[in-house]
Amino acid sequence: MKLWSGRFGENTDALTDALNASISFDKRMYKEDIEGSIAHAGMLGDCGIIEKSEAALIIDGLRGILADIEAGKLDFVQADEDIHMGIEGELTRRIGDAGKRLHTARSRNDQVALDFKLYLRREILTIRKLVRGLQDVLCDVAEANLDTIMPGYTHLQRAQPTTLAHHLMAYAFMLRRDVTRLTDCYERADTSPLGSGALTSTTYPIDREKVAKLLDFSDITANSLDGVSDRDHAIELLSDLSILMMHLSRLSEEIIMWCSWEFRFVELSDKYATGSSIMPQKKNPDIAELVRGKTGRVYGSLMGMLTVMKALPLAYNKDMQEDKEQVFDAIDTVKACLPVFSAMIQTMTVKPENMRRAAAEGFINATDCADYLVKKGMPFRDAYTVVGRLVNKCIAERKTLETLTIDEYKSASELFENDVFNAISLETCVAMRKVPGGPAKESVKAQIATVRAYETY
């Protein structure tokens, strides 16, 4: 018999039970449910709402259930409906009528909201740690490639010279923002809804603050209606994870290109690549491709969650049962992607000679050539035109700015001297960009130090 069946004269249909049950996925919150119930039972006993001896019996029973679940001795079935009813039913079977007192001054609505927040807080900390791990990997690879010159791109066209270190640190700072977003999300999930009841709290003299403190929440929710109907923290987490996956997807796209024969900037370890069933020469960057593909999966969870919540009146509605699968799937996806992605980056082989060869082509030092003339006194727009004509000449004659003679330079402008060749060398182009945020070695070292020193907890 269902715990809520008192008002009903006949059993629910089997199809109703199948659609209504959430135990298949929400049972992963067993630990959070038991932690919340232990805190709630202790508070009930301390407040004199139930006998302290009953509270102790309940707590002991809950701890026994937790031990049996973690030992693989206890599982739940569809008839249990959800993890909350499953644990309460098992508790009552074990300790008798005292188990029926656990739900005093509590609704499944605030119980579910509590368990979900406890679960999200724990997962946020795990994901944040994984993101920090990837940041460290990017910093390590950057430190090893401070002098690895490569072309920087705009519109996927070679634009200006930079270094692999500078390029990777751009992603490290993206991840730093991801860490701050996760930290912000944690703070907004860090309020206890327990005591909100079904929607209008309870007439029992409970101590909400005591329960919040026992569960290490920084505060309680200020409005009981909002306490049970709020899923902003879940939506915010999905948004944060979507942005994180977007960052991984962008780097994945570059890794995929860099692995191609057209680029050959890096080669992935055999541990993080796959082959073809019919083409023996293939080495495919499947990990990067999968991360790129799974980004859409996380986006889908965010869109699904927003759609579930978009028109729900206050307070709790059964639609909100759809929140957990979306969040669980996104969390699982991100946690699967981050460690293997970090290992892929950490073990890839960088090919500096190919990067520099690409940087030597495409006239990516043209801006520096124009800046040379500006420093000699020519207005930038005039210098831009002069160098543009030189580039056209090079293209027509299959030359580069480095292979033009000084006479050819002087035919374009008398301001050119022999020092132009040093000014347009790739090493100079990079080294002179030492403003904060630039690709010069000292600037990138400062960027690495900033990322490594940054803490949010």
CATH assignment at residue 68: 1.10.275.10
Question: How many structural domains are present in the chain?
Answer: 3
Q: pLDDT value at position 221?
A: 98
Q: With bands split at pLDDT 50, 70 and 90, how would you rate the model's confidence at 92?
A: very high
Summarize pLDDT for 271-298 with one digit per residue, the tens: 999 998 899 888 999 999 999 999 999 9
| pLDDT(457) > 60 | no
| pLDDT(10) > 80 | no
Domain boundary among 357, 378, 396: 357
What does the block give as tokens for 426? 């790739």
Both 122 and 136 in one domain: the answer is yes
As a whole number of angstroms, the distance between CA 332 and CA 281 comes to 33
For the annotated catalytic residues, the residue numbers are: 155, 276
Q: With bands split at pLDDT 50, 70 and 90, how would you rate the model's confidence at 253?
A: very high
Q: What is the mean pLDDT of residues 143-149?
A: 98
Bond prior to 315 in cis (omega within 30° of 0): yes
| pLDDT(3) > 80 | no
Q: pLDDT value at position 21?
A: 79
Mean pLDDT for the chain overall: 95
- Crossing angle of helices 83-95/30-46, nearest 10°? 60
Range of the domain at 367: 361-452
Both 277 and 233 in one domain: the answer is yes
| pLDDT(20) > 90 | no
Both 369 and 352 in one domain: the answer is no
Neighbours of 17 (CB within 10 A): 14
In a domain, 206, yes or no: no
Q: pLDDT value at position 382?
A: 96
Domain boundary among 357, 374, 403: 357
Q: pLDDT value at position 414?
A: 94
The fraction of the chain above a pLDDT of 90, given in percent, is 90
Both 65 and 79 in one domain: the answer is yes
- Crossing angle of helices 164-189/232-259, nearest 10°? 170
Both 181 and 292 in one domain: the answer is yes
CB-count burial class (<10 Å; 0-12, 13-18, 19+) for 353: exposed
Give the CA distances from residue 240 to residues 109, 220, 331, 393, in Å, rounded to whole numbers and listed in that order.
25, 23, 11, 49
Q: pLDDT value at position 18?
A: 73
The residues facing 152 across adjacent strands are: 160
Residue 420's contacts (CB-CB under 8 Å, 6 or more residues apart) are: 369, 372, 406, 409
In a domain, 216, yes or no: no
